[in-house]
Amino acid sequence: MDDFMIDVTAAERDFYGGGLILLEGIILEFLSCMEMIRRYQVSLGRSDPVSSWQARIKRASSMREKLRRRSLPETAETALSEIRDAAGVRLVCPFVEDIYRTADLIRAIPGIRIHREKDYIRSPKPNGYRSFHMVVTLPLRFLPEAPAEPVWLEVQLRTIAMDCWASIEHRVKYKREVPEQKLIVQELKRCADEIASTDLSLQTIRELIETLK
């Protein structure tokens, strides 16, 4: 597995308190499972369905803001019980087909529970955003017994192209002072549609190569 590095500041340690180890734990458990799944797939002569990954714990400031928008108490207890994306992992896949293949592999992890799935690839958001989201829980082996409340993990699966687009869109979204904002949003939507078309073309090329083999 790639070196497990997650950026946590003093603000997160102060806000989440003892819950921070649970958030870090579920990320590490999930990534450990994915590492073995990927290696096993390769050992069977199949391609690695994941090209890279990123993990994060939601910033304390972002979590407080989200709780505030939902009129919920700004506490760690509420954040861990009511919010499903305090811990997150993003899996970047080479092809669209690999996203659905990886989702199937995740569903087969022993002990995992899938609480929600949203397919923004088949049904993109109005701004063009495409991704496959899953909210899961899984056993934490380092605990002597399961915690009283589930520890939630949001998993996002994207192609390389989708991830590139989402990164650029995120920058635009949080820079409201940019002139011609409406035009930029329209262009981003157009780019998202073109990227989706390119993803499908690349998938077709891959299938053609496999057929020729």
Tens digit of each residue's pLDDT (9 = 90 or more) over 78-133: 999 999 999 999 999 999 999 999 999 999 999 999 999 999 999 999 989 999 99
pLDDT for 20-76, tens place per residue?
999 999 999 999 999 999 999 999 999 999 999 999 999 999 999 999 999 999 999
* Res. 3 pLDDT band, cuts 50 70 90: very low
Total-model pTM? 0.88
State the Cα–Cα distance between residues 78 and 82, nearest whole angstrom.
6
* Res. 209 pLDDT band, cuts 50 70 90: confident
What's the average model confidence in pLDDT over 188-197? 91
Residue 78: predicted pLDDT: 95
CB 135 within 8 Å of CB 84: yes
CATH homologous superfamily, domain 10-160: Beta Polymerase, domain 2 (3.30.460.10)
* Res. 180 pLDDT band, cuts 50 70 90: low
* Res. 1 pLDDT band, cuts 50 70 90: very low
State the Cα–Cα distance between residues 174 and 87, nearest whole angstrom.
21
Instruction: Give the DSSP letter of residue 55.
Output: E
Residue 23: predicted pLDDT: 95
**Hey, where are the domains in the chain?**
10-160
Residue (of 134, 66, 71, 59) closest to 99 by Cα position: 134
State the Cα–Cα distance between residues 121 and 170, nearest whole angstrom.
18
